[in-house]
């Protein structure tokens, strides 16, 4: 184990075991270096790594603190690694996404207010009306994020957002088949919004699962297993 790893896991253990609590300032560098048996350089690199994960917050002129450790923030940091997954890995993630999207859709059908339902249909109508792939992709994201917000917890919504962000790197709607795929996707969105408006959790769960499964099939059928160049989000599937 390298010195940086030693410092990283040492600090992580202190936080996990409750020795350093959320919002607490971590001890001075000298004390930590002595306790962990590492140099200041190794400790600082470990702190940078934990900061990237949202676990530690360096505050200029004040010191370094353990973050609030909100679950949604920690889950959100998964994007640092999940976005590295090649297509086969992403397709494995889709099994989890189908389950979670179905769950939040069912909950949304039970919880949604009339105003929230109007918001969902407004997003569906905007998706159906636009011819701009970038705008369609953003509206698509907002539609699913709204359902996750209504039917899930902040942590679950954050996890689904991470899953969607990786999926959006694949530009299915800009393919020659894109217009037809978009029409089918828009139809799926309307079916899902209608099930939520009808207060039918079973239908909402089924519509969400079918929609995500359809996107997975499109990725398997149309996208190469390895991306040749960095992809952008415009016109991507949800």
Question: What is the per-residue pLDDT for 99?
Answer: 95
Indicate the pairing of strand 63-66 with strand 56-59.
Answer: antiparallel
pLDDT digits 0-9 by tens, 119-166: 999 999 999 999 887 888 889 999 999 999 999 999 999 999 998 887
CA distance between the termini of the chain: 40
The parts of the chain modelled with pLDDT lower than 70 are: 223-238
All structural domains of the chain, each given as residue ranges with its CATH number in brackets, are: 3-69 (1.10.10.10), 75-222 (1.20.120.530)
Rounded CA-CA distance 130/114 in Å is 25
Question: What is the per-residue pLDDT for 237?
Answer: 54
Rounded CA-CA distance 108/89 in Å is 29
Question: What is the per-residue pLDDT for 179?
Answer: 82
Rounded CA-CA distance 155/138 in Å is 21
Question: What is the per-residue pLDDT for 181?
Answer: 85
Question: What is the per-residue pLDDT for 231?
Answer: 46
Rounded CA-CA distance 126/137 in Å is 11
């Amino acid at each position: 184990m390298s010195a940086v790893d030693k410092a990283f896991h040492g600090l992580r253990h202190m936080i996990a075991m409750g020795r350093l609590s959320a919002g607490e300032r971590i001890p001075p560098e000298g004390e930590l270096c002595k306790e962990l048996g590492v140099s200041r350089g190794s400790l600082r690199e470990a702190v940078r790594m934990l900061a990237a994960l949202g676990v530690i917050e360096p505050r200029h002129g004040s010191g370094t603190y353990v973050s609030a450790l909100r679950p949604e923030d920690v889950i959100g940091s998964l994007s640092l690694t999940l976005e590295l997954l090649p297509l086969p890995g992403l397709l494995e993630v889709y099994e989890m996404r189908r389950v979670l999207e179905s769950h939040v859709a069912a909950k949304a059908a039970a919880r949604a207010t009339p105003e929230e339902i109007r918001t969902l249909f407004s997003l569906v109508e905007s998706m159906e009306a636009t011819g701009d792939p970038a705008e369609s992709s953003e509206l698509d994201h907002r539609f699913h994020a709204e359902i996750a917000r209504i039917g899930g917890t902040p942590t679950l919504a954050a996890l689904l957002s991470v899953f969607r962000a990786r999926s959006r790197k694949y530009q299915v709607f800009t393919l020659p088949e894109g217009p037809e795929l978009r029409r089918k996707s828009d139809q799926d969105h309307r079916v899902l919004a209608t099930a939520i408006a009808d207060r039918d959790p079973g239908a909402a769960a089924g519509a969400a699962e079918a929609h995500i499964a359809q996107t997975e099939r499109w990725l398997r059928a149309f996208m190469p297993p390895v991306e040749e160049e960095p992809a952008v989000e415009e016109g991507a599937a949800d």
